[in-house]
Structure 1
Amino acid sequence: MTETVVSIPALLARNADRLSGRAAYREKEFGIWQSWTWAETRDEIEALALGLIDAGLQPREHVIISGRNRPGLYWAMVAVQCAGGIPVPIYQDAAPEEIGYQLDHAEAVMAIVGDQEQVDKMMDAAQDNDRIRKIVYLDPRGLRKYDDPRLIAYADLQDRGRAKRDDLGAEMQTRRDAAQYDDTCIMLYTSGTTGRPKGVVLSNRNIIETAKASCDFDNLTEQEEILAYLPMAWVGDFIFTIGQAYWAGFCVNCPESPDTMQADLREIGPTYYFAPPRVFEGQLTTVMIRMEDSGRLKRGMFHHFMDHAQKVGPKILDGEIVSAWDRLKYRIGEAMVYGPLKNTLGFSRIRVGYTAGEAIGPEIFDFYRGLGINLKQLYGQTEATVFITQQPDSQVRSDTVGVPSPGVEIRIAENGEVYYRSPGTFVEYFKNPESTADTKDSEGWVATGDAGFIEDDTGHLRIIDRAKDVGKLATGGMFAPKYVENKLKFFPNILEAVVFGAGRDNCMAFLNIDLNAVGNWAERNNVSYGSYQELSQHPKVLEMMAEHVAETNESVAQDPMLSGCQVHRFCVLHKQLDADDGELTRTQKVRRKVIGEKFEDLVGALYEGKDEIYTETEVTYEDGRKGKIKATLRIVDAKVFPVRSDMREAAE
């Protein structure tokens, strides 16, 4: 690390000189991939930075950024930094109320957004906000007749910047040179699992030290290709597409739209890939649906070779000894099943793949590892600039999240909570010294809120669950809902699961069906339905769910510590859990407390032994209107398995 590289703009300048002709960004538009070199990227960013300075942006002022993944919005984050400001990306699907809170809390003076939808929401959120001076839009479609004086097109602002280069170039350079290693690089909002999102302040040191260490860990170079499709407001997207991309100098590819993401993924064939468990679960569901629709011979061949892949694929990937016959059979499977499947998924060239955000089901994890994909787990937080632990090659397991990332220290408190400190540890929560002090102590140790332990023999960290969610059953057994939920979600028919049981004699669950998977099953089995609600309560669907829960219980019964977490009764919800209804965070994490309170009547019915219950639930439609859906839900008793006496003794 040289002293001159103390900011993202400094890394941009370095790459534009050293890697000037290499592709830095690509975007698919109208079916054609557009490409920008590092030198061209610098020119685009500087033009926008000059335009922002001309528009009045002052050092350390906050600029909101919102929209889908596009080079122009990634350039905007760096342009704001070049102008001395602080970018604040927010979730593009946030409601106007959420945006309004973040505008006010961040004290933002400008916003740079993607399209008309984002402009409409921003104007709605900022109608009583006198602080917002400019709203810059990237895509002009639909905005020709808008007459708000704050609005300006992205391209027009760049043109103004280019015209003022002679006048403002020195000022921009002065602001860039003024950046210090411990100055703020970006502010990112937490997902707000337990309350209002908090603004996490990350410094240049946090971003660059983390990017350097993580690139070294996995030998990431300028040769990598990644697909940028995750929310730009998420810290993982920022560290992968800005931090690591600028440190290593690799290319960031932006899909044409969310609808074309899978096709674009296949065309790019990324070498470095990240996806949360939900994405891997969805892809596996699609694969299983296609297999069920295929002929008997093809389906049989798939299951035969996939069974073999689960047995030997991870061993081959980790360089372990495998018999010649097993290797030969695996190669045949590679030619007939694994290779074509990886190509269909867009995973043929992946050298390093990660998943994080929530625990991934072991069966799902092993499925991808069995294909020969170097999928690993990491454990991180916004407050850590992502990386707390990573799994080194050849030390990959489904039940741990790896060893401490380079430069990270970990300790376990007496109550089992995981603490860490590292060069990536956040500076503070913006305007919230109380929460900062509660989370980070005077020695820099940060409380993660997760319960776990470090294995004595391997040094790997195992996460049990959120510390606040881990508890005791009334019988004295351990209650860890996420462990059971992940097993339930392995089944393609189950999109989401929420398990209750803390302080109770036994566990109960809410389930969400996966409409794609169950709808496909219904079509194959001549089951007619008129709505999601009707399909979710169909007797055959409930019977199928009962089989999945029974299979899960049988697996849970094998764990001596958690065997008491078997699900005794469940109901299939009449609606999908939704972030717009407050039931999930914007990163799709379950807000367990909110769900428990919102569906208190259903929880009560489960524990009171009722066979069915009538309920009314408020929902938010796509246009923001509120409404109610009414339903009578059936409650199903699940098959529970006894715990072997030897396992019970082992647990005790």
Structure 2
Amino acid sequence: MRHDHVTDETTAALHPNWKVNDHLIAILARNARDYPNGIAMRERDRGIWHELTWPDYLDVVLALAAGFEEEGIGHGDVVLVVGDNRPQLYFAMLALVCLRAVPSPAYPDAQPSEILAQMQRENICAAVAEDQEQVDKIENVRGQWDGLRAIYYDDPRGLTAAAPEGAQPIEALIKRGRTRLAGDPALRDDLLARPNVHDPAVLLHSSGTTGAPKGIPLKHGHVLAGVRYAAAAGYFRTGEQHMAYLPMAWVGDFAFSIAAALELRFTVNIPENQETALHDLREIAPTLYFASPRAWSGMLTRIQVGIAETTGLKRRLYDHFMSFAIRLEEAKMEGKSPSLLQKLWYRLGDLVIYGPIRDQLGLRKVERPYTAGEAIGEDVFLYFRALGLNLRQFYGQTENCALAVAQSAEDISLTTVGRPFPGIELKIDDTGEILIRGDNVFDGYFQNEKATAETLRDGWLCTGDAGEFADDGQLVVLGRLSEVVHKADGTRFIPTYLENRLKFSPNIRDVCIIGAGREFLSAIVCIDFSAVGQWAQERGVPYTSYAELSQRPEVQTLIAGEIAHLNNAVPESLFIRRMVNLHKEFDPDDGEVTRTRKLRRNVIDEHYKAIIDAVYAGERSLDYEARITYETGQTGTLTRHLEITDLPEREG
């Protein structure tokens, strides 16, 4: 073994219910044997959908495994996987699993420095890349890591005649693997028999908000337990139509597009690229759909922009029926049943408004829509439920395969995330921390005993989240315990709670609450350029750029009103007294947010110290020297004039 991890014997003691031969490759082989005509995957390429059956899927995985082994990759090797969702990348991950090697996916927009750090932390010996862009990033830092022996790429465009040394197309590997399999009839069965339930199926990573990301090995037993718990709760059904568009480095994609897809025989539909995903969604018409609160909010903004540009009659019909449906949904949440007349009127609305909008979004067949990752805005949540989508919230982390707690179809609340799946234990300890136990909980971080000891205690996963139980027993997530801070007067608050409430507004993309050790709270706001731009256009407010729009007096008033609305709902000690609209969005390339858009507060404090100092010094504005990075990698500064706004204590 080339990396340390919990031994099979130790894992067997931790998980006595696991069966050695119960792993992803065995399930793939079962599907190929028992469902030879079932469609496992569909990919849109140049406008045409290409289908692969379960036997096709298995044959490519085994051929790639044989090819990787010929290249010297074997048990315990860690291999980088980077790129957008592509069949060859999924096949490569499972091929590595056949060899008991470990795929370690990275976010496709990761910078070369992040790629290098991942290679060094995990002793990565090879890389599987989507295309020239990803190959170039790896090559950019390859001289700083001698351990990287080879690069295998999917898309040959730009690489056919000028591939770097040691780089070759995945297709060539598949051909060589097929030759090996044809020449050695016993190899196929050998590859199928090698993995076991205790092997890592993937090496994922924490978000790294406070330091370097931690490696999170998830074993076959973990991910299969999570999927089975979720299926028992009605979260997944056999034979779902699923669209794979989430980053492959995110636990949700592995859980949905690989583990659940294999166990429950999903058809995994892969859009042509990220730019066509929304268009492809209409053709796919999934039955299962997950999107972050930010994505649902963006979808609502697109609908509102489209309605604003339509004819007067259509707009009036939309306003009437949507207002009616939202009132009806609010009444349902209060436990009131709709009357027969209301049901009939809703059906009419479904014919003329709700159904056509769902169809336009590509969600006409979705039976199980979900959201998770952060709190979703009340208006957004109610809107999509009013539209006829049974939108539900769930709660999970990479350490528990993202599958732990969810709202049932009949048990919906704006403030809770639901109940634990069957097989999962959940409790709140004396400090208010949420603890979870089950076979879906990982066994420890990659080469990090200290972090493991802090996170796993007596078999319980210490989530780091503060929570409580609602009166009906559902879980309420309050925020990260590590982010509990105090004002100068000792007032306790959780910035993420306030930030999430502000991000309920479609006009606010990101916000950072400042106030630890201070006399009062303030907010650094990043406006949503699309939503605020549309708002400005409708009101004739001129602007030429994000920076200019953010500083318009009308926009300052708009955002101040959003914050005043929050101030109405919190104690006076948590009022936000001052705000500044930033001239740009928080950027993961600048280290201000993670790839999953979680704030790195220490970086924000450093980058915007001059702004924060001006806010607390009582300044009305400042000329801020903004750092900029050009495409060449060179840096410079640009002066931005930023307004600082005092906020009313109460709205209106």
Report the TM-score when normalising by structure 1. Answer: 0.93
**What are the ranges of 5 or more consecutive residues in structure 2 without an aligned counterpart?**
1-16
Q: For 1:213, which of 229, 233, 239 is the aligned residue?
A: 229
CA distance in 2, matches of 1:82, 1:173: 11
* Per-residue Cα deviation, 1:471-503 (whole angstroms, up to 9, x for no partner): 344455542333332332233222112222234
Secondary structure of the residue that 2:403 maps to in structure 1?
Answer: strand
> Which stretch of structure 1 is more off in the superposition, 464-473 or 248-257?
464-473
Q: For 1:493, which of 475, 499, 507 is the aligned residue?
A: 507
* Per-residue Cα deviation, 1:228-280 (whole angstroms, up to 9, x for no partner): 11110011110000111000001111111111111111111110011111111
1:99 positional shift: 0.3
State the one-letter code of the partner of 1:452. Answer: G
CA distance in 2, matches of 1:10, 1:390: 29
CA distance in 2, matches of 1:194, 1:408: 29
Equivalence for 1:541: 555
Q: Is the 8 A contact 2:98 2:194 kept in 1?
A: no
Secondary structure of the residue that 1:130 maps to in structure 2?
Answer: coil
CA distance in 2, matches of 1:202, 1:115: 27
Equivalence for 1:49: 65
| Alpha-carbon distance change, 515 to 145 in structure 1, aligned in 2, over 3 angstroms | same
Residues paired across the two proteins, number = 636
> Which stretch of structure 1 is more off in the superposition, 214-223 or 13-22?
214-223
1:359 positional shift: 1.6
Secondary structure of the residue that 2:289 maps to in structure 1?
Answer: strand
Q: For 1:454, which of 457, 469, 479 is the aligned residue?
A: 469
CA distance in 1, matches of 2:572, 2:424: 34
Q: Is the 8 A contact 2:20 2:197 kept in 1?
A: no
CA distance in 2, matches of 1:439, 1:547: 40
Equivalence for 2:545: 531
- Write out aligned runs for 1:261-272 (5 A): 261-272=277-288
- Write out aligned runs for 1:360-439 (5 A): 360-439=376-455
Q: For 2:168, which of 152, 158, 166 is the aligned residue?
A: 152
List 4+ stretches of structure 1 deviating above 6 A.
314-320
Equivalence for 1:648: none
Equivalence for 1:583: 592
1:406 positional shift: 2.3
| Alpha-carbon distance change, 43 to 601 in structure 1, aligned in 2, over 3 angstroms | same
Secondary structure of the residue that 1:542 maps to in structure 2?
Answer: helix
Secondary structure of the residue that 1:602 maps to in structure 2?
Answer: helix
CA distance in 1, matches of 2:134, 2:31: 31
1:3 positional shift: 4.4
Equivalence for 1:610: 619
Equivalence for 2:204: 188
Equivalence for 2:567: 553
1:464 aligned onto 2:473: no
| Alpha-carbon distance change, 318 to 551 in structure 1, aligned in 2, over 3 angstroms | closer
1:242 aligned onto 2:258: yes
> Which stretch of structure 1 is more off in the superposition, 174-183 or 371-380?
174-183
* Per-residue Cα deviation, 1:434-481 (whole angstroms, up to 9, x for no partner): 11111112x1212211111122x3221101111122334445554233
Secondary structure of the residue that 2:176 maps to in structure 1?
Answer: helix
CA distance in 2, matches of 1:189, 1:528: 43
Q: Give the CA RMSD over aligned residues.
A: 2.2
1:92 aligned onto 2:95: no
State the one-letter code of the partner of 1:496. Answer: D
Q: Is the 8 A contact 1:391 1:401 kept in 2?
A: yes
> Which stretch of structure 1 is more off in the superposition, 459-468 or 613-622?
613-622
Secondary structure of the residue that 1:468 maps to in structure 2?
Answer: helix
Q: For 2:318, which of 296, 299, 302 is the aligned residue?
A: 302
CA distance in 2, matches of 1:218, 1:438: 33
Equivalence for 1:326: 342
1:563 positional shift: 5.1
> Which stretch of structure 1 is more off in the superposition, 144-153 or 197-206?
144-153
Equivalence for 1:649: none
1:90 positional shift: 0.9
Equivalence for 1:647: none
1:118 positional shift: 0.5
> Which stretch of structure 1 is more off in the superposition, 507-516 or 291-300?
291-300
| Alpha-carbon distance change, 44 to 439 in structure 1, aligned in 2, over 3 angstroms | same
CA distance in 2, matches of 1:164, 1:302: 62
CA distance in 1, matches of 2:560, 2:189: 65
| Alpha-carbon distance change, 642 to 130 in structure 1, aligned in 2, over 3 angstroms | closer
Equivalence for 2:7: none
CA distance in 1, matches of 2:238, 2:334: 25
State the one-letter code of the partner of 1:530. Answer: T
| Alpha-carbon distance change, 621 to 224 in structure 1, aligned in 2, over 3 angstroms | farther
Secondary structure of the residue that 2:531 maps to in structure 1?
Answer: helix
**What are the ranges of 5 or more consecutive residues in structure 1 without an aligned counterpart?**
644-652
State the one-letter code of the partner of 1:513. Answer: I
1:201 aligned onto 2:217: yes
State the one-letter code of the partner of 2:239. Answer: Q
State the one-letter code of the partner of 2:589. Answer: D
Q: Is the 8 A contact 1:313 1:371 kept in 2?
A: no
1:143 aligned onto 2:159: yes
Q: Is the 8 A contact 1:451 1:470 kept in 2?
A: no
